[in-house]
Amino acid sequence: MTFNEEFNSYNSGLWNDHMWYETSNPTKNYAVEDGKLKIWPQRDASGNFFNRTIDTDGKYYQTYGYFEIEAKLPVGKGTWPAFWLFNHIDHRRPEMDVMEAYAGGAAPWGFEVDGVAHPQAYAPTVWKGDAEGQLVGTRQYDTGTDLSAGFHKYAVKWEPNKQTYYFDGKEVLTVNVTMTDPMYLMLDLWYGSASGTPDDSTPQGKSNSFEVNYVRAWQFKK
C-alpha cells in the first residue's frame, strides 16, 4: 500500500481544494467529518452552483498500481461526481476516469424519485490526451441500483499495457493501452455534461454529499 487516506481529518499538505487553473471558491461546500470527505451542491454568493475539486496535484503521484475509493453519490439534476487519475503535462492531459456519474442524465444514467434525479449508472473512461482521437475506452455501466443509497467501491488496476476497471470488485471495463505518465488523484463534484444544468430541484447542503469513505492505492511488487 502506497496511499491510505481514511479521512480522519483534512490534510491540506496532501490535498488541494481547486484545480491548477482555478482559484478556490470561498463558499464552503466540503468538509471532512465522521471519517469521510463530503462535497455537496451549494450555490455561491452569486447564486450559482460551482465546481469543487479535491486533488493531490503537486503532492502525490503514482504510475501503475491499484487505486480504489468507497463512495456514496449525491442526487440532483446537474450533479457530476467523479474520481480520476490525471496529469497536466505540457499540452497533454492523460486521464483515467475511474468513476463519473450523471444523475440528471437519460436512463439508465439516472431516475427520478419525487422529482429529484438519482444516479444509477456511471462510466469509467480513458483518455490518452485532450486531442481528437485520444479517447481510447469507455463504458456506461448500469449498476441496477441507486448509487446515492449506499457506499460502493470504484477501482482501477493500471498495468503497463492494460487498465481494468471495477465496481464492487466486478470487472466492468478493460482497455489495452500504454500510459506511462505519473498521475495524481482527483475527487470532485462538478455540474453539467450528461447530467444537465442544476436547478431548484437539486438539493443543496451537506445532507446531499458526494461522500468518500476512503482513497487507497497499492503498487505492484517488484
> What CATH number should be reported for the domain holding residue 134?
2.60.120.200
For 20-30, what is each residue's pLDDT tens digit?
A: 999 999 999 99
Q: Using 50, 70 and 90 to split pLDDT, how confident is the model at 16? A: very high
DSSP at 206: G
Q: How many domains does the chain have?
A: 1
Tell me whether residue 2 is in a domain. Answer: no
Asked whether residue 8 is domain-assigned, the answer is no
pLDDT per residue as tens digits for the range 143-155: 999 999 999 999 9
Q: Which of 87, 49, 27 lies closest to 192 in space, CA to CA?
A: 49
CA distance 76 to 99: 17
The residue range of the domain holding 133 is: 16-194
Asked, for residue 201, whether it belongs to a domain, the answer is no
β-partners of residue 207 are none
Domain presence at residue 216: no
Question: Is 206 within the bounds of a domain?
Answer: no
Tell the residue number behind the cell numbers 486533488, with chain if given.
55
Residue 180 to residue 94: CA distance in whole angstroms: 9
Among residues of the chain, what percentage have pLDDT more than 90? 95
Question: Which grid cell sits at 143?
Answer: 449498476
92 pLDDT tier (thresholds 50, 70, 90): confident
